[in-house]
Structure 1
Amino acid sequence: MPNTQTTTPLIAAEDLRQALSRADQDWLLIDCRFNLGNTAAGETAYAQGHVAGALYVHLDRDLSGPKTGTNGRHPLPAPEAFERTVQSWGIQPGTRVVAYDDAGGMFAARLWWLLRWAGFEQVQVLDGGWQSWLAAQGPVDTRAAARPPCAFKIQPRASWVLRAEQVLANLGQPDRQLLIDARAADRFRGENETMDPVGGHIPGARNRFFQLNLQPDGRFKPADQLKAEFEALLAASPVDTVVHQCGSGVTACHNLLAMAQAGLPVTRLYAGSWSEWCADPSRPVER
């Protein structure tokens, strides 16, 4: 059965440091550092120093499925493949998972969402990431960590994910779908597009750049501020119509995390996002 004991979406570095020092809980720390322009950079950074005991996971290898050219830049892993990955991490039903990166949660949020989609609730993102851990003087190590594998079974929540054809069918139906695009405003407008071959956005989408969820120090804004900002973005639209997307389904998870931190209900993800959408020239584009 899915783990039903819920935790807050974020954990502060000092709170994590103190919790680890008590050793009364099975904690799994996961380093998600990554660089879209240099896909080896995260592993290099991990080897140079990471939260003591943390495993390293790679966005392309561990948190994404194979690319076909039409399913986006970071397609979701197949459930059976992700289950094998989770088992290799040694997650048990009582394990507490904390993911971190050095990009304001940009990549850690993807792992947070994947585990929750897989039915595992006790997962958090380290607020402020690697930088906050260093500031809290948390223990650091350069040795690669490992845990014995387990037989943990995932239970994916299929209703949390929409496919391209579902998004297309719901266009122009505000009572069924409100798309929130997490990309930067210029890419949303179709300007300065360097990641995908076509610029623009899915018709009717609203823009919420994921970095707007953060304070200048890289930590998330207070929950009440996030709640007010998302409610203003939704205006009169019901929360249950929200569908998150971005360029490839990664930073959309940051907005999902921010809404969860704000205490708002679970919403859906169009995982293929713009990179999948624009791969089919028959799909409409707005600029």
Structure 2
Amino acid sequence: MFKTLIDAATLAQHVTDPRWVVIDCRHDLMNPAFGRDAFAAGHIPGAQFAGIDDDLSGPKNSNDASFRGRHPLPERAALVETLRRFGIDDDTQVVAYDAHGGMYAARLWWLLRWIGHEAVAVLDGRLPAWQAAGFELSTQVAPHAPGNIGDRPALTRTVTVDDVVANLTSGVNVVVDARAPDRFRGENETIDPVGGHIPGAKNRFFKDNLNADGTFRPAEELWGAFAPLFTAPSAAIMQCGSGVTACHNLLAMEVAGLPGAALYPGSWSEWCADPKRPVATGA
């Protein structure tokens, strides 16, 4: 069972294994059509495509019309149906990949753990690692029989916006923001019309989890980067722009042997939607 990362050579040995399901999670925030177009142009043989907006997120507004962020979590029942459509069973080994350092693949990794599925890993080094190893791409989409994966107790934790608001006073938890430093400081209005960060948050840019070739840094290096940020992983709240790249930090912490942090799914896009919530800027 692979529960965090998998290398291209190992994946290549299993692409025809019926007990394995490979999911392409490529996406571009500035071009929503990019992922499906890239998948159609070439993907790992046997892979299926999961869209961040359509498959791995839920409605942006709740029943009371309040804004939940750009990429809210899907309803658990809806997610289970999506995963069954991909042919995933309770004992399936799932491998997720993208072309962006694992930031979108990590979202699927986290979601599967959210419904209690442990056998899920991210392709280390993303699609370029597969191609660099000399493995071919395919344009064929093979049919898959529906899976039977069920909704089991979560292997992850979440917090709500109310929890994060309460933490401003209690200070029990440390919020760790995965966005780029300029976005954290409030200097990128293209992506974040309301710039800045949650007061008291610390910045851990998700790309700092990676080596120059896009593979994850060694576990001991990741441990050394994350451990000083909080007293214990259970006291950490991971967030980003919309709850996607925060999953990359959660994956890196799992690789480092620091499990137990919570995800704030609404993240900055939900937080800044209410002008009554405080905003900090600068380093």
Instruction: Write the mapping of 1:44-59 to structure 2, written as runs, cut at 5 A.
Output: 44-59=37-52
- Check if 1:43 corresponds to 2:40: no
What's 1:268 paired with?
262
Partner of 2:238: 244
- Aligned partners of 2:91 and 2:188: how far apart in 1? 45
Distance in 2 between residues matched to 1:140 and 1:192, nearest whole Å:
36
Equivalent in the alignment of 2:251: 257
1:85 maps to which of 71, 82, 98: 82
1:14 Cα offset (Å): 1.1
Query: Does the residue aligned with 1:51 lie in a helix, a strand or coil?
Result: coil
Alignment partner of 1:178 is 2:170? no
Question: Which residue does 1:212 correspond to in 2?
Answer: 208
Correspondence 1:136-175 to 2 at 5 A: 136-155=133-152, 157=154, 160-174=157-171
Residue in structure 1 matched with residue 2 of structure 2 by the alignment: 7
**Percent identity for Structure 1 against Structure 2:** 52
Distance 1:158-1:173 versus aligned 2 partners, 3 A rule: farther
- In 2, Cα distance between the equivalents of 1:286 and 1:135? 42
Does the aligned pair in 2 maintain the 1:55–1:146 contact within 8 Å?
A: no
- 2:123 matched residue in structure 1: 126
1:106 maps to a residue whose letter is M
3-state SS in 2 of match to 1:170: helix
Aligned counterparts of 1:26 and 1:138: Cα–Cα separation in 2: 20
- What amino acid is the match of 1:197? P
Q: Which whole-Å CA distance do the structure 2 matches of 1:47 and 1:17 have between them? A: 20
1:96-123 deviations in Å (ceiling 9; x for gaps): 0000000010100000000001100000
> For 1:93-108, what aligned pairs fall within 5 Å after superposition?
93-108=90-105
Pick aligned residue for 2:13 from 18, 41, 45: 18
1:132 offset after TM fit, Å?
Answer: 0.4
Deviation (angstroms), 1:159: 6.7
Query: Structure 2: any 5+ residue segments left out of the alignment?
Result: none
TM-score under structure 1 length normalisation: 0.92
CA gap 1:158/1:170 in 2 versus in 1, 3 angstroms: farther
Which amino acid in 2 is paired with 1:88?
R
Say how many residue pairs are matched. Answer: 277
Shift of 1:158: 8.9
CA distance in 2: counterparts of 1:251 and 1:28, whole angstroms:
22
TM-score by length of 2: 0.93
Q: CA RMSD in A?
A: 1.6
